[in-house]
Copies of this chain bind each other. A is one copy, B any other.
Amino acid sequence: MTTVYGMARSGNCYKVQLLLEQLGRPYRWVEIDSAGGQTRTPAFLAKNPNGKVPLLECDDGRLLAESNAILCWLADGTHYLAADPWQRAQTLQWLFFEQYSHEPYVAVARFIRGWLPEDHPRRAELPRLLEQGYRALDVMERHLDGRAFFVEAGYGVADIALFAYTHAAADGGFDLAGYPAITGWLARVRAQPGFVEQAC
């Protein structure tokens, strides 16, 4: 059976859980306390030298890291990842946007506010993280205006990846009140068959 090494509170890990639930695929979840150093043990580093979750282990022992690479691998051949080359290219564009222009701000702001003490020096990063995170939300809002999902082919891994931290953006201090297109899209994602909320 497929094994996911993940931390339930992590949006990157939730992506993989959400897709597996929607695919109806059985899997084993091994909870890894990334914040507590469990991705830096010799045993874990032997599986993923980059020391990050999520990590997928196939039943034959093959290993795959990087949440969005895992999404594409699991979704390939299903309607969650279009077969059409241009639709796939658009999907990848949004997956890279998520990891470069969205997650490092929206997710990191959530981490600093939710995991670190009130007087932690990294709180000084928050104004810049909010500014950059709002810039990513602006790009999403503009794209979703008049569109149901990120890629024309319909709901798929680009939506799953961007939902993971956008749905929890308030935890990072973001106010989505001025983002009606994003708010509508969040509701459409939640209405998808097999949708599950993040556990924590």
A69 to B87, CA, bound (A): 11
Interface size on A, residues (CB 8 A): 33
A103 to B104, CA, bound (A): 13
A85 to B49, CA, bound (A): 22
Residues of B near A92 (CB, < 8 A) are 66, 68-69, 72-73
Protomer copies:
2
Interface string of A99-123 (1 = CB under 8 A from B): 1110110000000000000000000
Contact indicator B76/A93 (Cβ below 8 Å): no
Residue of B whose beta carbon sits closest to that of A103: B100
| Residues in A lying within 8 Å of B, measured CB to CB | 49-50, 52, 62, 64-70, 72-73, 76, 85-86, 88-90, 92-93, 95-97, 99-101, 103-104, 138-139, 142-143
